[in-house]
Amino acid sequence: MKTLIMTFFAVLAAVACGQSASELYQTHCSHCHGINFQGGNAQSLVDGIWQFGGSTGHISSNIKNGITHLGMPAYEKTLTGPQTKSIAEFLLNAEKEAGAVKPPIPETLQTLDYTIDVEIWAEGLEIPWDIAFLDADTALITERPGRLRVVDKGKLYTKPVEGTPKVVAEGQGGLLAVAFDPDYTQEGNQWVYLAYSHGLEMLPNGKRAPAMTKVVRGRINGNTWADEQVLFEAKHDDYRTTRHHYGTRIVFDADKNLYFSIGDRGTGIHAQDLSKPNGKIHRIQRDGVIPKGNPFRRKSGALPSIYTYGNRNPQGISVHPVTGKIWASEHGPLGGDEINLIAPGKNYGWPIITYGKNYNGSIITEFVRKDGMEQPVWYWNPSTAVCGIDFYHGDLFPKWNNKLLVGALKYEDVRVLDIEGSRVMHEEVILKNAGRVRDVACGPDGAVYVVLNDPGTILRLTPKKD
């Protein structure tokens, strides 16, 4: 109902300004996108493909801020907010009327180095978030609403693991990261790690329950979650009632220390406050104990688990197969998505420095760099909505060894970043518009696995067999 009323007012406002959405389109857009939206000097807007995000919000934002490096002008100064929104809704409607359907998932992909076969490895999932492999036929998949799914002997089991922690499945929250212990197969180990949005009791005044990212480990006994141990739980005073920016992934370094992230939970300035858990990448031992070398272990008032700070919302973490260094993606604001090389004690600058703006186009800060704050190794403007990352290391795509696979939600793509030292030398989009990419993983068999949302599917990419 609220959206209906808002739509009504948006249309009303556009009309009040003199021109209907259709007239505005013909005046400002048709010479590039075509009188009937079919394309011409720019692409069709009724082909079922929204490369840069297909929600009313994303389309409005693209009209307002432009995609200037590709020749799409910014209309911020020409059109009012309600006019922009009315055009976005008008375009979505035009697309519907044109009967456009999203193209099916491609069967093959052509990349610079390989022709690739695409197969659907698992499907029918609901917002799959993370995948962890034990071997090529055994994996665990989290579904954000709170289910842990099992793939055994290559088959996805219908029944989720019973008794996994209760999650706050609202907004960006839910069951997020999953990982196997590096020594999982050793006698008596069998630990599985989970990170999720943990909620406190509902507040008496009916307000939303405060929540924060929490990390636990447990074992899967039969099909039931057992032996749970809490590894990281923030002070409940630091829990937040917001429902976004929880992070996170779980990875282990060569010393088997565990890294996870917590996004800023919507309060940017907390990322600079070492007494707060949010806006950080944390490092703990597998049993939750603070490792001896942690940078803020002895700093009074600082949380000893903090490894880096000034991180907005890292949703991808990966360990370089050769250097062992930690890399993280950071979901930034508008125009501020980043790839960072993570080093202990460093400040990554959010929200004091950023290459992005607020989603409504307003300025966050005038600074992109400052002494004592790290620069990203790479950033995207416009933002792709960067999510899961993984360094490739396997036999099937030898030319991709040590390159970084990067998934993006809004741009619905997977990229391969060629990194030398701390520089990105080359970037290639290898998959586009198959669905929102929540995670990418190099499997134990060397295949590349892509965790898609809309549709909730896992793709397996292998080199084409001749």
CA dihedral 435, 418, 461, 433 (to 10 degrees): 20
Task: Please tell me whether residue 59 binds ligand HEC under the rule CB under 6 A.
Answer: yes
Cα distance between residue 331 and residue 376, in whole Å? 12
Segment interacting with ligand HEC (CB under 6 A) among 50-58, 153-161, 175-183, 274-282: 50-58
Binding-site member from 6, 12, 35, 70 for ligand HEC (CB under 6 A): 70
Task: Please tell me whether residue 87 binds ligand HEC under the rule CB under 6 A.
Answer: yes
- Taking the least distance from each CB to ligand HEC, the nearer of 66 and 455 is 66
Binding-site member from 13, 15, 17, 42 for ligand HEC (CB under 6 A): 42
Cis preceding-peptide flag for 382 (omega within 30 of 0): yes
Cα distance between residue 252 and residue 256, in whole Å? 5
Task: Please tell me whether residue 391 binds ligand HEC under the rule CB under 6 A.
Answer: no
Task: Please tell me whether residue 67 binds ligand HEC under the rule CB under 6 A.
Answer: yes
SS3 content of the chain, % helix, strand, coil (to 5): 15, 35, 50
Segment interacting with ligand HEC (CB under 6 A) among 69-77, 150-158, 181-189, 239-247: 69-77
Task: Please tell me whether residue 384 binds ligand HEC under the rule CB under 6 A.
Answer: no
- Joined tokens for residue 308: 């880096």
Task: Please tell me whether residue 409 binds ligand HEC under the rule CB under 6 A.
Answer: no
Largest CA distance in the chain: 74
- Taking the least distance from each CB to ligand HEC, the nearer of 74 and 136 is 74
- Taking the least distance from each CB to ligand HEC, the nearer of 50 and 114 is 50
CB atoms within 10 A of CB 150: 17
Task: Please tell me whether residue 43 binds ligand HEC under the rule CB under 6 A.
Answer: yes
- Joined tokens for residue 191: 């630990």
- Output the smallest distance, CB 389 to ligand HEC, in A: 23
Task: Please tell me whether residue 62 binds ligand HEC under the rule CB under 6 A.
Answer: yes
CB atoms within 10 A of CB 97: 10
Is there a contact between 390 and 443 (Cβ–Cβ < 8 Å)? no
Cα distance between residue 12 and residue 18, in whole Å? 10
Binding-site member from 14, 28, 319, 356 for ligand HEC (CB under 6 A): 28
Catalytic one among 28, 198, 245, 270? 245
- Taking the least distance from each CB to ligand HEC, the nearer of 23 and 287 is 23
> Phi then psi for 69, rounded to 5 degrees?
-70, -15
- Taking the least distance from each CB to ligand HEC, the nearer of 28 and 198 is 28
Binding-site member from 73, 288, 344, 361 for ligand HEC (CB under 6 A): 73
- Count of chain residues binding ligand HEC (CB under 6 A): 22
CB atoms within 10 A of CB 3: 10
Task: Please tell me whether residue 373 binds ligand HEC under the rule CB under 6 A.
Answer: no
Question: Given the DSSP bridges, would you call strands 306-309 and 316-319 parallel, antiparallel or unpaired?
Answer: unpaired
Cα distance between residue 397 and residue 412, in whole Å? 22
- Output the smallest distance, CB 60 to ligand HEC, in A: 9
Task: Please tell me whether residue 37 binds ligand HEC under the rule CB under 6 A.
Answer: no
198 is catalytic: no
Segment interacting with ligand HEC (CB under 6 A) among 65-73, 102-110, 131-139, 171-179: 65-73
Cα distance between residue 277 and residue 235, in whole Å? 9
Question: Given the DSSP bridges, would you call strands 448-453 and 147-152 parallel, antiparallel or unpaired?
Answer: unpaired
CA 372 → CA 103, 260, 339, 342, 375, distances in Å? 47, 23, 18, 14, 10
- Output the smallest distance, CB 23 to ligand HEC, in A: 11
- Output the smallest distance, CB 241 to ligand HEC, in A: 33
Task: Please tell me whether residue 33 binds ligand HEC under the rule CB under 6 A.
Answer: yes
Cα distance between residue 68 and residue 453, in whole Å? 28
Q: Which residue's C-beta sits nearest to ligand HEC?
A: 29
Task: Please tell me whether residue 151 binds ligand HEC under the rule CB under 6 A.
Answer: no
- Joined tokens for residue 107: 């069967």
Segment interacting with ligand HEC (CB under 6 A) among 55-63, 124-132, 215-223, 281-289: 55-63
Question: Given the DSSP bridges, would you call strands 251-252 and 258-262 parallel, antiparallel or unpaired?
Answer: antiparallel
CA 399 → CA 207, 446, 463, distances in Å? 53, 12, 11
Task: Please tell me whether residue 284 binds ligand HEC under the rule CB under 6 A.
Answer: no
> Collapsing DSSP states into helix, strand and coil, what is residue 425?
strand
Amino acid identity, position 196: Y
Segment interacting with ligand HEC (CB under 6 A) among 60-68, 329-337, 446-454, 455-463: 60-68
- Joined tokens for residue 124: 């029918």
- Output the smallest distance, CB 407 to ligand HEC, in A: 18
> Which residues are catalytic, by number?
245
Applying CB under 6 A, the residues found at the interface with ligand HEC are 28-29, 31-33, 41-43, 49-52, 59, 62-63, 67, 70-73, 75, 87
